[in-house]
Amino acid sequence: MSTQSTLFDKIWDSHVVLARGEQCLLYVDRHIVHDGSFHAFNGLRARGLKVRRPELTFGTPDHYVPTNARTAAAAATPEIRRMIETLETNLSSNGIACFGLDDERQGIVHVIGPEQGITLPGTILVCGDSHTSSHGALGCFSFGIGQSENMHVLATQTLWQTKPKSMRVRVDGRLGAGVTPKDVILAIIARIGAGGAVGHVIEYAGTVFEAMSVEGRLTVCNMSIEAGARAGLVAPDETTIAYLKGRPFAPKGADWDKAVAAWRGLRTDDGARFDKEVTLDAGALAPMVTWGTSPEDALPITAAVPDAKPSALAYMGLVPGTKLTDIAVDRVFIGSCTNSRIEDLRAAAAVAKGRTAAVPTLVVPGSGLVKKQAEAEGLDAIFRAAGFEWRHAGCSMCVGINGETGRPQERIASTSNRNFEGRQGKGVRTHLMSPAMAAATAVTGRLCDVRALG
């Protein structure tokens, strides 16, 4: 057998505590919980168990929090208020670090993990949310878990798993004007389909990812799950190291030097084999937008609505042959764990500057620190001058379980990750796109090719 290993092989093999057939007990390095984790803590109490390594778990409310205020009292319902308050009680009673609503570090779990240096190369990180795949942007094997698994990690700092297969997606060349990481991942999903990576961990490789910022890589890895993947990975490099240096929970001093030396060797060996390989030409990619009810339903903005998936077309209220740029929208949402970081907000503000919103537009930063930085740079002033609404950090309209939804049959241009039926509210029709494209849509009132705005 070949002795060459993939990046994923190396991380997996270094974390196996015990193997029983295809099942492996993995050590978990970092664990993040949010306001939906109360089931796991209830299970611990019912069994008389304690959190085994509280210093390796971190918590923040994000899914259910209101973004128009920073108090649980502003929650959409009394039940939601209790969930937010219960999280803080569960964390404090177990000695777990909590970034609560009164803490400027509060934010979406997949934004604050990298931001705080909780996410580190070569580690295993889990969280009770499917988009935990985001953290793989820093060379971390990260994946979403259910609440029973959440409880298991809290109690043991381990988790039973079956090893997924491996897949490499290469994108080489140079991205054209207006083409962003969000467009890259939408193009990948359109190419391989929503089930194209089921049972696999994707490693993203090629010159496009080598040149991409960590924030761009986070966007790509975030949506790996939308192709059915268990996780996404980008090998750590000098860009990763520079991003992590000085982060609060990253190693310090001699430990930092030791970690960096290890990270520099953490990559796929030459000649290592993948179970699947896919390649794309960066020069052939364009700004993308979805037309249907799955992220795989994505096309270049220059295309027309296809004659496909009748049920999706009926839900979306679209007619085949309609130019995508002729589709008017009712509302725009810029935010989510996919696209709410400072680079995303800068891109949206660059388009919004000097223009005026044609439709209601909501901008929700991914964390309190992102909000603070955006305000220091004057991005909030640009958004407000354009008529955009500037909010506090949270998942907001991406998940729509916090009262922040659209109305039935409203058409929303969104920087989030899912355009499923009802995702942003009952009957709401969602079109996914990049922050720059969303801002262009906001100021024109219809799906817009950002390149047309110069």
Write the CATH number of the domain with boundaries 1-285: 3.30.499.10
The single-letter DSSP state of residue 326 is: G
**What percent of the chain is helix, strand and coil (3-state, nearest 5)?**
40, 20, 45
Is the domain spanning 288-453 CATH 3.30.499.10? The answer is yes
Q: What is the mean pLDDT of the chain?
A: 97
The residue ranges of DSSP E strands in 220-354, in sequence order, are 231-233, 276-281, 288-290, 298-300, 331-334
Report CA-CA distances (Å) from 401 to 46, 78, 131, 205, 433: 27, 13, 16, 35, 21
Please state, in angstroms and rounded to a whole number, the distance separating the CA atoms of residues 84 and 94. 16
pLDDT in the model for residue 91: 98
Q: Calculate mean pLDDT across residues 333-360.
A: 98
Half-sphere exposure of 69 (CA within 13 A, CB side): 8
Give 26-57 pLDDT, tens digit per residue: 999 999 999 999 999 999 999 999 999 999 99
Please state, in angstroms and rounded to a whole number, the distance separating the CA atoms of residues 437 and 434. 5
The rounded percent of the chain whose pLDDT value lies above 90 is: 99
Give 388-403 pLDDT, tens digit per residue: 999 999 999 999 989 9
Q: pTM here?
A: 0.97
- Asked if domains 1-285 and 288-453 share a fold, the reply is yes
| Domains of the chain, residue spans | 1-285, 288-453
Using 50, 70 and 90 to split pLDDT, how confident is the model at 299? very high
pLDDT in the model for residue 156: 98
Q: For residue 16, what are the β-bridge partners?
A: 26
**Strand order from edge to edge, sheet including 429-432:** 389-390, 361-363, 331-334, 411-414, 429-432
CA-closest candidate to residue 147, choices 8, 46, 282: 46
451 — phi, psi (to 5°)? Answer: -65, -25
Residue 193 clears pLDDT 60, i.e. is over it: yes
